Structure 1
Amino acid sequence: MSTVLKRFSLVGVAALLAVSAVGCGTGPAKAGSAAIVGGQAINLETVQDRTVTVLKKEPAAKQMQDQGKLDQVSRLVLADEITHKIAEHAAQRENITVDETKVYDAVQEKGGPEAAAKQSEQDSTTIYRRQRDVLVMGELARRNLSTLEVVIDFFQVKDPKEAKEKAAEVAADSSKMSRFVQEAPRTTGGQQASATNQKVRVTENPSLVHTMLWGVKPGTVVAFPADEQQSSWMVALVKERNKVSPVPGEDDLTERIDPRLLAAFGLRIAQYLAADLSIEVNPRYGVWDPTDATVVAVSGERAGFVGVTAAKNKS
């Protein structure tokens, strides 16, 4: 959970430069591409040039290079490029336009482009694009925070390996969900940590604000840490996604929530809007991890599980 928040402290707040390692392999469908998002290529040269820029400006990145971990920086840059494509697609679908004055002012509030980009994968030119994406995600969050409801079957377990394995089983055969719900262990307070047809709104479940529950279509199974300590994992089958009326008193909710949380929630809405876009990463970098919106070396390093059920795939 905290990894997502750190990854998306998008307004010049320090981003972590530790993701995972670049291996070797052939590229995706289009030669010279680091990744392809919905048929649009992200050029290898773009990722390489940005990586060099980060190495020049960030001592932590240079240290990682000296330790033979240059690939970790490259993957963080590539994840940023992919996320931009997702934000761009969402903005187009929702007809969101950004006031460039607000982009400029937000960067200036952080001390200007160089200061705003410090200790992150951004630089003095990309920071404006990043801030533009932040504003898009903020608008997506505002449009959905009080009105989005998902209906889920879910259960919780303590072991992440068990959570991912059972999520994969449900994705292959959704009928297994009811058994897993019934078999779910009880909490320390004796309560059943599972339910069917549970209606969930982020305003009533703020701890779930940045999870994949809001970023997938009905018919999708997700598994993710249910708390920041990762002491419990949730496996959920998203069954419905509904627009509901806001509860009285929630009108100004977006003004009272940490902007970073809004950006994290907005990212999930953007991922939902871009759910039909295929994301193909060049194997030399690894694979896309939607749970943390980043790139990891191999699928086994993904922070959670996201999979469409077999029945949904057939429809």
Structure 2
Amino acid sequence: MSTVLKRFSLVGVAVALLATGCGTGPAKAGSAAIVDGQAIQLKTVQDRTTTVLKKEPVAQQMQNQGKLDQISRWVLADEIAHKIVEHAAQRENITIDETRVYDAVKQRGGEDAASQQSVQDPTTIHRFQRDALVLGELGRRYLATLEVTVDYFQVKDPKEAREKAEEATADPAKFAKFVQEAPRTSSGQQASATNQKIRVSENASLVETMLWGVKPGTVVAFPFGQQQSSWMVALVKERTTLPPVPGEEDLADSVDPKVIAGFGMRIAQFHAADLGIEINPRYGVWDPTGPSSPDVPAAPTLVAKPDERAGFVGVTATKNKS
């Protein structure tokens, strides 16, 4: 994605549902997607896409390059985002003062200025800003208190990571074998572990990964590290909320707000795990793992084909109760 259009994913409002496929298409005619039984109309996506093309020169360039479908995917992802963030806000009893929304838009220069270089427009920017504030609140609530317990192993080859993650999803007994067979790191350490307890404060490089966005009994695979040169494949076994480690009660105050919102995105995904979703095949498939670029906050989206997903998410047949 070009620099100008990176704000399409700002604070990750293109939220992911934890579905990893799209079925045969929405049952309701004229729908671009159906989320929790609620239809997102084709006309809504088409009208918003037209608005983006009128106001964004880069979008016009993309259209000339035959990439109009990608713009429509970003628009649909944003529509799904709102429904998922709204659901998470209800689950967490989060209410955003509309004065905060208004002030945030005003600080960005008003509706027109705030919606530039994005898929937003003056009719959607307040909703977008409200959702961003919800994600920030979600992130702050759990940044210092959430702990997950995982079995994991690391590999260098993305193809191997995806294949083993898929195998372990179908047959969880294989995960122990993959952990034992994991290669050693350059320093000689085993690149695997069982019952590893992970908190953000001790594992900053994992803050925006899918570890925090899935229920126990889920296998995830994703690139990580500074150069994202390795892949982690993890089986999430437990998810617990604990008191903050002494001295980390105000951890969120020292973290970039965009990173907090990206973490909040994963919390929203967790709450959305049981919502039904269907994507009209014309828009591709959902990628819950989002882009792998380190300078873009966690921002799951739609991609044209399954093999374009940035990572892997699969619920095992023996999923634990959350």
What TM-score comes out, normalization by structure 2 length?
Answer: 0.89
Q: Is the 8 A contact 1:280 1:287 kept in 2?
A: no
Whole-Å separation in 2 of the counterparts to 1:26 and 1:271: 23
Whole-Å separation in 1 of the counterparts to 2:288 and 2:320: 18
Change (3 A) 1:127 1:226: same
1:10 corresponding residue in structure 2: 11
Question: 1:107-256, aligned counterparts within 5 Å?
Answer: 107-256=105-254
Whole-Å separation in 1 of the counterparts to 2:226 and 2:113: 29
Whole-Å separation in 2 of the counterparts to 1:6 and 1:46: 21
2:304 aligned with 1:297 = yes
Q: Deviations over 1:106-125 (max 9, x none)?
A: 11111212221111111122
1:26 Cα deviation after fit: 7.5
1:229 Cα deviation after fit: 2.5
1:92 Cα deviation after fit: 0.9
Q: 2:316 is matched by which residue type in structure 1?
A: T
Q: 1:301 is matched by which residue type in structure 2?
A: E
What TM-score comes out, normalization by structure 1 length?
Answer: 0.91
Q: Is the 8 A contact 1:155 1:235 kept in 2?
A: yes
1:143 Cα deviation after fit: 1.2
SS in 1 for 2:281: coil
1:308 corresponding residue in structure 2: 315
Which stretch of structure 1 is more off in the superposition, 234-243 or 291-300? 291-300
1:27 Cα deviation after fit: 4.3
SS in 2 for 1:79: helix
SS in 1 for 2:302: strand
2:294 corresponding residue in structure 1: none
Change (3 A) 1:269 1:116: same
Change (3 A) 1:102 1:314: closer
Corresponding residue to 1:93 among 91, 94, 112: 91
Change (3 A) 1:307 1:235: same
Whole-Å separation in 1 of the counterparts to 2:250 and 2:24: 50
Whole-Å separation in 2 of the counterparts to 1:230 and 1:256: 24
1:77 corresponding residue in structure 2: 75
SS in 2 for 1:82: helix
1:314 Cα deviation after fit: 11
1:10 Cα deviation after fit: 3.3
Change (3 A) 1:11 1:207: closer
Whole-Å separation in 2 of the counterparts to 1:7 and 1:303: 17
Q: 2:313 is matched by which residue type in structure 1?
A: V
1:227 Cα deviation after fit: 2.2
Q: Is the 8 A contact 1:147 1:246 kept in 2?
A: yes
Give every structure 1 segment of 4 or more consecutive aligned residues whose post-TM-superposition deviation is greater than 3 Å: 5-8
Q: Deviations over 1:127-148 (max 9, x none)?
A: 1111100111111111111111
Q: Is the 8 A contact 1:8 1:263 kept in 2?
A: no
1:55 corresponding residue in structure 2: 53
Whole-Å separation in 2 of the counterparts to 1:135 and 1:277: 22
Q: 1:311 is matched by which residue type in structure 2?
A: T
Q: Is the 8 A contact 1:26 1:284 kept in 2?
A: no
Change (3 A) 1:172 1:314: farther
1:22 corresponding residue in structure 2: none
Change (3 A) 1:59 1:239: same
Number of residue pairs matched? 301
Whole-Å separation in 2 of the counterparts to 1:6 and 1:233: 26
Change (3 A) 1:45 1:257: same
